[in-house]
Chains A and B, each alone.
Chain A
Amino acid sequence: MKVSLFITCLCDIFSTNVGKDTVEILERVGCEVDFPELQTCCGQPAYNSGYLKDSKEAMKQMMRAFRDSEYVVGPSGSCVGMLREYPEVFAGDPDWEEPAKELAAKSYELTQFLVDVIGVVDIGSTFKGRVTYHPSCHMTRILGVKDAPKALLQQVKGVELVELPIAEDCCGFGGTFAVKHAAISEQMVSEKSQHVSETNAEFLVGGDMGCLLNIGGRMAREGKKVEVMHITGILNYRQ
């Protein structure tokens, strides 16, 4: 199966290991991975801030980049969720409505792709540790992926998965929200950090780097020792 990696700008520039792990995971389950270099950012920072025109420039670039791809898979519920909304954004646009529909139809978040398309929950990983999982809002509510990440984590040998209290609550990231309303965002992330502490987990795991940078950044500031990892870091681990 041919898969084009949608790296997401955060993982291209900041959390590059997520991309590396994603490539290796996809190859492990038998995919042939390519990386279309024309890709940039999904458009969400501008779209969610109300800059529709500016966001469309980014979206068009993504449609150009993945035009020939069979499947597009990315390690982010939020960014893939944005790709899936392209058809609504370009509804009625004679040039872009069709490409938008095509891209949305072939785009998947990584765990969703593994479970729903490849049909695998155990990819033979081993990772020792007490792990709690933060289900990011866009992964669950926008993209509708609720079970796949946990199903995969449960199959990793050595993982002790503990429930995060009020897990469905937003961590306060919200893209530009974290900067525009930093004071409110701070209260939200502090509460999330508190909930993580209550689990006594050694690792906080999630499927969206934005949220993880937010929670991880807060916990580091608070001097907490919990290690924050993208789910790909665990799924690609074999001790």
Chain B
Amino acid sequence: MSIKIGNAPFESRVQDGIKNDFMRKAVSSAQGRFRSGRLVAAEELGNWEEWRTLGEEIRSHTLENLDYYLEQLSDEVSKRGGNVFFAQTAEEANEYIKEVVKKKEAKKIVKSKSMVTEEIGLNHALEEVGSEVIETDLGEWILQLDEDPPSHIVTPALHKDKGQIRETFAVKKGYDKSDRPEELALFAREQLRQEFLQADVGITGCNFAVAESGAITLVTNEGNARLATALPDTQISVMGMERIVPTWEELEVMVSLLTRAAVGQKLTSYVTSLTGTRLEDEVDGPEEFHLVILDNGRSKILGTEFQAALHCIRCASCINVCPVYRHVGGHAYGSIYPGPIGAVLSPLLDGYDDHKELPYASSLCGACTEACPVKIPLHEMLIRHRQIIVERENKAPKTEKMMMKGYAKWASSPAAYKMSTKVARPALKLWTKDESISSGPGPLKGWTDSRNFPAPSKQSFRAWYKERQKGGSYNGNPK
């Protein structure tokens, strides 16, 4: 897997989403829970807007000084016996990890949930060298058994219900009990426990790396990251190069924002920070630790107008408030990063060719920008993407370009504009009935397929205003 998922064109993915009643119900109810949870958690914290500002400042400061903090992090990890590898590309990251795994002759690898390893398609790469990779986050495990991509960056199996999960467990793992969540979870726990015990290598992502100490911090609710890092002798963590905080102090702020914004929790069940290998005077920790720091297009974003997109802490609160996401679901985006942040990030990391529709999959309502705990101006970035698609990439439809040229002429010429206020009504007369258009021509058709469009008024406002100045009056309402 990589950033792009599936080959179906955008429109058909959208249709698949809209027709998937079950998925839409599940997403809608999850959004409702997440939304109210986030608001309550923010309220409890108090001064939410000040926390957001602080979050933005921390992220912005870190990115402005990223070279410094990356070096500090790297030094600290090395001091604590870890190996650090900077990977320019997904391939470089995968090659490095494959080498480590080959040297260890690892047959079994357990993984905790990590979007960045989805991004580089790590599981696939490891299977190529003959290792068995097991996802240990419950949602990810279900998807892995089902060979289905994630549809959400925090709750990846949001689109599946317990009946579907039972079926997957039955077919793939011989499960023969009910679809009660408790029974399903117990089964998964039993199965996964064996995998943890047998694994040679544990692979994790990284929510935040603390530069001053070289600690990798993982935020989970299932505790699987803790097992994946505690049991196997070798630990590999993969992180996007931007996922750094300077010190423990900033970590506290960012984790507070993350858990509240993501799932409305004051704190998740587990927040785990791990530093390097087991040193001589220590009783636990892995024998070998590798930190893979991934660029994969991120450094190209630094210093551009999109830099703030790298503030993202993957909380998904923009996804949880997005009305477009609610109706089409995560898979419609065709990227492992769906929703507003996905529509911003996917073209930046993976180019416009495969993701040129995404910046338009938004009504620009701004709910995402309002929800973001680190104040990424998401909807403004979507407009900027559209500008690039039109002006630099030249990927806009020809008819649209012509219409916009016409628009510019119309809106910059008062005479042409005034003329249009007179001719609009006769021009649409053919389609007008009872002051309403129920089946319109050209671009209006998309609108009138599902709703009526009004007929232009008999007299434009400006014509009325002229008459009024000569002594006319408005007889709309009884006065």
* A residues lining the B interface (CB < 8 Å): 7, 9, 11-17, 19-21, 23-24, 35, 37-41, 43, 45-55, 57-58, 60-61, 65, 137-138, 141-142, 168-170, 172-175, 177-191, 213-214, 216-218, 220-221, 233, 236-239
Contact = CB atoms under 8 A, between A and B. Distances in A.
A180 B369 contact: no
B449 interface: yes
A87 to B, nearest CB: 14
Contact of B461 (A16, A58, A214, A236): A16
Chain B residues touching A, range: 35 or more
Contacts of B436: 220
Nearest to A177: B363
Given A14-B454, A184-B324, A188-B323, A179 B410 contact: no
Nearest to A5: B465
Contact of B450 (A51, A142, A189): A189
Given A14-B454, A51-B404, A54-B407, A141 B387 contact: no
A23 B465 contact: yes
Which 3 A-B pairs have CB atoms at the shortest separation, nearest pair first?
A174-B363, A50-B386, A182-B446
B462 A188 contact: no
Interface stretch (B48-56, B214-222, B412-420): B412-420
B367 A40 contact: no
Contacts of B443: 179
Contacts of B361: 181, 184
Contact of B414 (A24, A61, A239): A61
Interface stretch (B134-142, B178-186, B471-479): B471-479
A211 to B, nearest CB: 10
B461 A11 contact: yes
16 contacts: A12-B421, A13-B461, A41-B417, A49-B404, A50-B386, A50-B387, A57-B411, A168-B367, A170-B367, A178-B363, A180-B360, A180-B446, A182-B447, A191-B323, A221-B450, A221-B452
Nearest to B457: A16
Interface string B463-474: 011001000001
B323 A169 contact: yes
B40 to A, nearest CB: 16
Nearest to B366: A141
A78 to B, nearest CB: 10
Contacts of B444: 179
B447 A179 contact: yes
B438 to A, nearest CB: 7
Contacts of A11: 461
Given A19-B461, A50-B387, A182-B449, A236 B412 contact: no
B18 interface: yes
B355 to A, nearest CB: 15
Contacts of B420: 13
Contacts of A61: 411-414
A20 B412 contact: no
B327 interface: yes
Given A54-B408, A184-B14, A239 B366 contact: no
Contacts of A236: 477
Contacts of A50: 383, 385-391, 396
Contact of A40 (B387, B410, B461, B478): B410
Given A14-B457, A183-B15, A52 B391 contact: yes
B398 interface: no
Contacts of B365: 137, 141, 169-170, 174
B450 A182 contact: yes
Given A14-B455, A184-B18, A185-B363, 19 more contacts: A14-B454, A21-B474, A21-B477, A23-B465, A40-B413, A54-B407, A137-B366, A141-B367, A142-B366, A170-B365, A174-B364, A180-B446, A182-B450, A183-B15, A191-B323, A191-B327, A218-B451, A221-B438, A238-B478
